[in-house]
Each structure stands twice: as structure tokens, then as C-alpha cells.
Amino acid sequence: MKPPPFDYHAPRTLGEALDALAEAGGDGKVLAGGQSLIPLLNMRLAAPGQLIDINRVAALDTLVREPGGIRVGALARHSRVERSSGHPLLRQALRHVAHPAIRNRGTVVGSLAHADPAAELPAVLAVLGGWVEVASVSGTRTIPAASFFAGPLESALLPGELAVSAFFPSLPPRSGSAFAELARRHGDYALAGVAAVVELDASGAVTSARIGCLGVAATPLVLDLTPYLMASGAFADAVAYVRERAEPDGDIHASAGYRRHLLGLLAARTLSEAHATASSPGPSAHRITGGTTDE
């Protein structure tokens, strides 16, 4: 379990990083927190010839509250985002990402770029309708979550591109979010998980209800359950619809049938919790104001 040979680059600026990536082309791989990449290298499941370590690119170590959401730079660690993003759904989801030691090293953007369908953050970005900012020597582009996750462990990033930040839209007033997952052990990848967002109007009626599901499809599965929740008491129909739409695979940890069963339970739980939060009076914890976050 030692990695195969590779050339190591340690750029100090974004420009240097993009140059190195451009030169490496398809043979390049970005090292940020390394929590997925290093095991893959050590098990020789990945063998990039060029490793571009972006940990010295200070400009990527950012966490900025902007009007409408939070921008998470490529070097922001899970633990910092968990503590300081001010975004309730991010906080709820990040608690489930592995263990504290891993959250202290691993990065939010790295997790998105890794595009594991059983990971928490892709589902969160997807249900929020967020996006990823991408840079290369030829310019920048914005990739919406809906097209960023291309398949299991496959993102829309092209050779030479670096995901420089991710934008998580904030929740509007009178909304609530919830996150739940079930894993075999504390901190493991989930057998199934759900991130839910429910929005209400001034009268308390549901105007939007969406869930992002993890572990039950090749990419995060976002489902709009608004019609079911607008009709009060239609949870059972929503759950049936969720189970019908999921396409989980069975593996050594759980059968497809069990994952589908769990997904329905988790959808009901998270929708109910998100709805209750949205309905509860009090100061909105969900508004994000501009500026760099305080930690």
C-alpha cells in the first residue's frame, strides 16, 4: 500500500496551479484534503503521473457569506464550514461526514469533486440548487449541481480544470431544512440519506418541498415533493413516490430493497422535521448576510 511514482507540484498561486494542471492534462490530479485521494493512491487504484497539491494556494482557503448564499473555497475544511458557514443544512449534513479527524483535513469542494453518490455534500449542493465555480488556464465557468455530478465518482470537471469554489444558496425565510442518514457504523458512508428543504408561505402553506437523496442512485437524486406536501397528510404518498423513484444498488452492506425502505423512512423523517422548523416562529436562523465569516 504505497503509491506508484508521480511528480509532485506545490503551486503557491492559483495561476501556478492552473498552469500545472494544464500541463498535466489528463494525467493530473488535484490534492487538497487527500482523504479520498491518498487511500486511492496507496491502494494503487489511481495512478496519476502529476499530483498538484493546492494546499499552499492561500487564495483558495476562503469561506465567504454572500447575498444569497455561502461561497466555500477549495481549501475550506469540513470542520471550518461545519462551524462557521451559518448555513443550517450544511451544518446538519457535515456532522455526518466521517469523523472529526477526517473533517479537519477533508475539504467540502474536494468531496464534491470526488462525486461519491453516497457522500453527503453532493446531495446538499444538489437539493439547494447550488453550483461549482471552475477555473482553467482558458478561463472560468460555472457548473450547476444538476450537471456537475455525472456518475459514480465522476464529475463534469475536464482535464486541466480546478474546482475553485462551491456556492450553497441560502434558504429563504419561513423555510426549514433537515438531514438524516443511516450508516452501518458511526461516520461511515450512508446506506441511504436524505437532505430535505421545505418552504412555506405567510399563511404556513407549503410552497416548496424538495429532497436530495444519497446512496440510492448513481448521482444525488433530487425529488420535488411539493405537490404531495401541499396536500396536507400526503406524507405516505410522498414516501411511496420517493421509494418508486430511487434506484439503489444492493451491495455487501445492504440490499437494494432495504435501502429503498430506509430512504422512504428518512424522507418522511426529514420532511417532517424540516416542515416543523419552517413552521416554528422565532428569528430566522437561515438568513446569511454578506462578508467573510467569523470563526
Partner 1 sequence: MFGEPIVRVEDPRLLTGQGRYLDDLGRGALAAAFVRSPYAHARITGIDVDGALDVDGLVAVYTWEDLPGRVGEPLPLLIPHPALTHGRTAYPLARDVVRHVGEPVVMVVARDRYLAEDAAGRIQVTYQPLPVVVGIEKSASAEYLVHDDVPGNVGAFLVQEVGDAPAAIDAAPHVLEFRLDIERSASMPLEGRGVYARWDADDESLRVYSSTQTSTSVRMAIAAKLGLPPAKVEVIAPDVGGGFGVKIVHPWPEEVLVPWAARLLNQEVKWAEDRREHFVSSAHERGQVQFVRVGFDDEGRVLGLDVKILHDHGAYTPYGIIIPIITSTQLLGPYKLGAYRAEVTSLYTNTLIVTPYRGAGRPQGVFCMERTMDRIAAHLHLDRIDVRAANLIQPDEFPYDQGLIFQDGRPLIYDSGDYPALLRKARDLIGWDSFGSLRAVATAEGRRIGIGFACYVEGTGVGPYEGGHVEVDSSGRVHVSTGLTSQGQGHQTVFAQIAAAELGVPISDVQVTTGDTRRFGYAVGTFASRAAVMSGNAIALACRRLKEKALRIAAEALEADPRDLEIADGQVYVRGNPSASIPLRTVAVLSNPLRYAFDEEAQRATQFATGSSPDEPPIAPGEEPGLEGKDYYSPVRSTFAAGAHAAIVETDPDTAEIRILRYAVVHDCGRLINPRIVEGQIHGGVAQGIAGALYEKMEYDSDGQLLNASFMDFLMPYATEIPRIEIDHLETPSPLNPLGIKGAGEAGVIPVSAVIASAIEDAEGFEISAMPISPDDLFRLRRH
Residues at the site binding partner 1, with contacts judged by CB under 8 A: 1-5, 39, 43-44, 99, 182, 184-189, 252-255, 257-258, 261-262, 265
Q: Please say which residue, 60 or 242, places its beta carbon nearer to partner 1.
A: 242
CB of 267 vs partner 1, minimal distance in Å: 12
CB of 288 vs partner 1, minimal distance in Å: 32
b/e burial code for range 84-101 (CB count within 10 A of at least 16 → b): bbbbbbbbbbbebbbeee
CB of 25 vs partner 1, minimal distance in Å: 23
Q: How far apart are CA 89 and CA 96, in angstroms?
A: 11
**Sheet architecture: strand order including 50-53:** 7-9, 50-53, 28-31
Q: How far apart are CA 31 and CA 283, in angstroms?
A: 40
CB of 254 vs partner 1, minimal distance in Å: 5
CB of 265 vs partner 1, minimal distance in Å: 5
Across 101-241, where does the E strand assignment appear? Answer: 131-136, 139-144, 149-151, 154-155, 162-169, 175-182, 192-200, 206-214, 221-224
Q: Please say which residue, 158 or 236, places its beta carbon nearer to partner 1.
A: 236
CB of 221 vs partner 1, minimal distance in Å: 19
3-state secondary structure of 3: coil
Q: Please say which residue, 47 or 158, places its beta carbon nearer to partner 1.
A: 47
* Helical pair 235-245 and 256-279, crossing angle rounded to 10 deg: 140
Q: Which amino acid is at 231?
A: A
Q: Please say which residue, 91 or 253, places its beta carbon nearer to partner 1.
A: 253
Residue 110, C-alpha cell as written in the block: 474536494
* Cβ atoms within 10 Å, residue 47: 13
Evaluate whether 190 touches 215 at the Cβ level (below 8 Å).
Answer: yes
186 secondary structure, DSSP code: T
CB of 216 vs partner 1, minimal distance in Å: 14
Q: Please say which residue, 3 or 129, places its beta carbon nearer to partner 1.
A: 3
Evaluate whether 111 touches 75 at the Cβ level (below 8 Å).
Answer: no
Q: Please say which residue, 186 or 233, places its beta carbon nearer to partner 1.
A: 186
Q: Please say which residue, 54 or 242, places its beta carbon nearer to partner 1.
A: 242
CB of 103 vs partner 1, minimal distance in Å: 15
Closest listed residue to residue 119, CA positions, set 135, 136, 97: 97
